[in-house]
Amino acid sequence: MKHLKRIVFASITVLLFFGGTEVLLRVLDLPAQDERPTFEHNTVYWQTDPGLKDQPMTHKELRATFPVSTDANGFRPPFSEDGPETFRIAAMGCSTTFGWGVADNETYPAQLQAILHERGFQNVHVINAGQPGYTSFQGLWLWEQGMDQMDIDLVLAGFVVQDAREVAYSDRSQAMMQGEADFLKQNVLYKWRMYQVLQTTLGAVQTRAKEHGSTRRVPEAEYLENLRALRAKVQSSGGEIAHFGYPLEVAGYTEAHRRLLRLEAQDKGIPHFDPSETIAARVRAGEPLYFAPQDPGHANAAGNRAIAELVADWLISEQLIPKESP
């Protein structure tokens, strides 16, 4: 009985200590956070409006508009097709996958489906799940907004372009600082100020912006966490994942993340494809595949066609898609 009383007393003491410390930190509003933080986006999670039909979107660098249609999920065509014999590929990524600046049928997912159908893979359907501005952080959230119920067989995880961008606050820091409900619900630990103080002290979580940006939207360690979490979610839904290093005109700042994408795939036996060098060589040879010089980050219709052809070749050569009904 005395032993039990000691355990109970010790437990109450510990709870009072941590509870009191947590209350004090909240009263003092610690850890210190920028009163007027500058985030890349006003919110942590977003989706393109659903039900659009040839809605003009502005490409500010080109000073032009391009038509966008979306389904109930905010996804551009090809729209989801039902049927037990359909093999579904979901292309996930940012505006490069979404197809910024091009028409619905000129995006790389739309052209990928067209090419596969031309080559005899009629039962393959490609879903354009790209969303402007997305990193792997938002991609995890998007998967749980209904993609896990879409009977997807293969995910082309193309998160690299936005993840590697240098910013003042990481996506995770923004979610923590803004008290984003969806994030905190799945990461209860981040609610605790004591945890935030410890992580800030150790430098693992950035909560204060520096003068010229001091982190990536998704730092390398978090990038690996997101890739692994997405793979687990996809596999638990009955699908498989492949790592896709979406090619830019010049890789540049994305090189570290591309390396992680490749090494993680090698370590875990995950299919991986990055045609960056091939595309860069074609650009150097004079092919106009991007909206350069105004916007060298987004492929034009011809560029998306070139990327889609390379992806189709790879999918077929690696036997990742069935020619007959799965």
The CA angle 72-77-80, to the nearest 5 degrees, is: 60
Position 85 scores a pLDDT of: 77
Position 206 scores a pLDDT of: 47
Instruction: Summarize pLDDT for 179-219 with one digit per residue, the tens.
Output: 766 665 555 544 445 555 555 555 554 444 443 457 899 99
Say whether pLDDT at 6 is over 70: no
Please name the fold of domain 64-165+217-317.
Answer: Rossmann fold (3.40.50)
Q: What is the mean pLDDT of the chain?
A: 85
Amino acid at 260: L
Say whether pLDDT at 129 is over 50: yes
Residue 316 buriedness (CB in 10 A; 0-12 / 13-18 / 19+): middle
Amino acid at 199: Q
- CA distance linking residue 246 with residue 136, whole number of Å: 13
**Which pLDDT band holds residue 17 (cuts at 50, 70, 90)?**
low
Contact 276, 245 (CB under 8 A): yes
Which of the pair, 208 or 222, is modelled with greater confidence? 222
How many other β-carbons are positioned within 10 Å of the β-carbon of residue 11? 10
Distances (CA, A) of 101 to 218, 296, 308: 25, 12, 16
Contact 246, 161 (CB under 8 A): yes
- CA distance linking residue 123 with residue 114, whole number of Å: 11
Through-space distance between the first and last CA atoms of the chain, rounded to whole angstroms = 64
Instruction: Summarize pLDDT for 281-312 with one digit per residue, the tens.
Output: 999 999 999 999 999 999 999 999 999 999 99
DSSP strand pairing (154-157 vs 166-167): unpaired
Say whether pLDDT at 55 is over 80: yes
> How much is the average pLDDT of 247-262?
91
- All structural domains of the chain with their residue ranges: 1-30, 64-165+217-317
Position 79 scores a pLDDT of: 84
